[in-house]
Structure 1
Amino acid sequence: MNGSLFQQMLEKGDYVPRFYAYYYKQWKDYQMPYHQHDSTEIMYMISGECRIDVKANDMEKSVTLKKGEFILLDAEVPHRLIVEKTTSCRMLNVEFGFMESAGKAPSLRQIMREEEEVMFLLNRPFTSLVLVDQEEVYPVLRSLVLELDRRGTDGRTMTHALFIQLLVCIARLYEERERSDVQLSELYIKRCVDFLHQNYDRPIQVKDVAAEVNLHPGYLHRVFRRGTGRTITEYLTRIRMEKAKMLLERTDIPIHEISDYVGVGSRQYFHLLFKKFTGSTPVEYRLQQDRNAWKYGEPK
């Protein structure tokens, strides 16, 4: 088996870590060729900064790794390290895979059952993952490497225990980041929705909403659609059509003016949108309503 974290057999059988390489390295003015490993790799930035290029799904992405950050690279993922002439970095690297358990230590499957964050991490496959350490990962990683230097890579209780601690620390960082991202996304969506409700009567484009919340339009589009199930344009149209329904039901505003009240500049386009949204034209909708009911209903 290869060293990927995302193999189904890790959930079905009893496997423990197997370490292939672990080393400290100072880099300066260096460009590594693309390469890949059969194992999962952790590259931890102790000091300085560097660039990591990763190829996945016929695409290439680059990340800048700074002090206190680390990247987790899945097995068989092409990557390379770039250190510019004006910078240097010091890293700690650990490469590991898995082997069948001899019964001396808890297996990965057992850890997944006991630690929800580990299950959360291993059920969300990725090619690479960058996380910011909260001064929890490096001490464990350093202790693991020191133990490996002392005792070798054979299955040892202490190395297995340190690996479990390392994996739990990483999983908790990941789960916390994902939870924070969701909370931040919810805040952006709320601000967008408030802006739409307060400005539906004006011409609005996605770039206007993005500027209001200080996000790139493309990123905002993805966040908003993931959170609401609709695009910003679809959400705005719904607000406008609901407002048009209210104005047709409860006011005497001439139908030919209502498009301006709801921010649709073209009256013909407004009629098309309204018919699509309600199944009736604005004229038909108004005729169907008892417009006095809201005025003369029983007092509350």
Structure 2
Amino acid sequence: MSETIRLEYRPPHDFADLLGFFAKRAIAGVERVDADSYRRVFTLDGKVGEFVVTHATRGHALELRIDFADTARFPDIAARVRRMFDLDVDIAAVNAHLGRRRHLQACVARHPGQRLPGGWDGFEIAIRAVLGQQVTVAAARTLTERVVRRFGREVETMQSGKVYLFPTPETLAGADLGGLGITGARIATLHAIAAAVRDGRADFRADRPLAEFVRLWTALPGIGEWTAHYLAMRAAAYADAFPAGDVVLRKAVARGDEPVPARTLEAMSQAWRPYRAYAVLHLWRSTMA
């Protein structure tokens, strides 16, 4: 069954920026992103589906076309896509708060539609985050595609032909990840994440305090504060997640060439609460201008 659903949002919304973010990280065979749309294959309840997101031709809305056998799950799919594209935040409140802060005023004025890029599946984001530790975005995408080609299930859809489903926690928990260019330490972390998610010892629920979410994830081997806060931002939509140790952020607020200490940035960020994750995106974006 196919249906197109209109997803309203409060403007401004920088849809083009989100597409650009997703395009740099898109997994060939799983996702396809161009200047106007985001498309991916997924599985729910053992059934394979596909969706494509475009901007509506009128009004403040995105259009979501879903191809999936079970129409009863369409509201759930739409809710997940709303989180992916951060459609429910009160962006006026975010901008009013951050726009008064010295390091963010120009950023907010330049990009008032900045949103948090989410993801379809928390487990997928976690695996990709570990593969991206200390390597470039392009290198992380290459490693992820290798994992998907070896362990993802190949399926065929009416719209895209042969595509891949991202590997499940059950598959990756015991997968032989050797020979893919992944270090032994990261292989151990990937196995630990997959087993923890499979067994219910780790999840991506946002109904707990941020500090508790971070403690849950940093208890796993190879998961530090940066990765835990990154997961909080992208997999669980915590608006106040803040990886204070991030070197790019520490450089973005520095007066000279040397990045400020993480503790200095953490103290500075207190004035940006409860929207520190939006500050992160603004500051990252400011370094690419």
- Both proteins in one fold, TM over 0.5: no
Higher strand share: 1
The TM-score with structure 1 as length reference comes to 0.20
Larger radius of gyration: 1
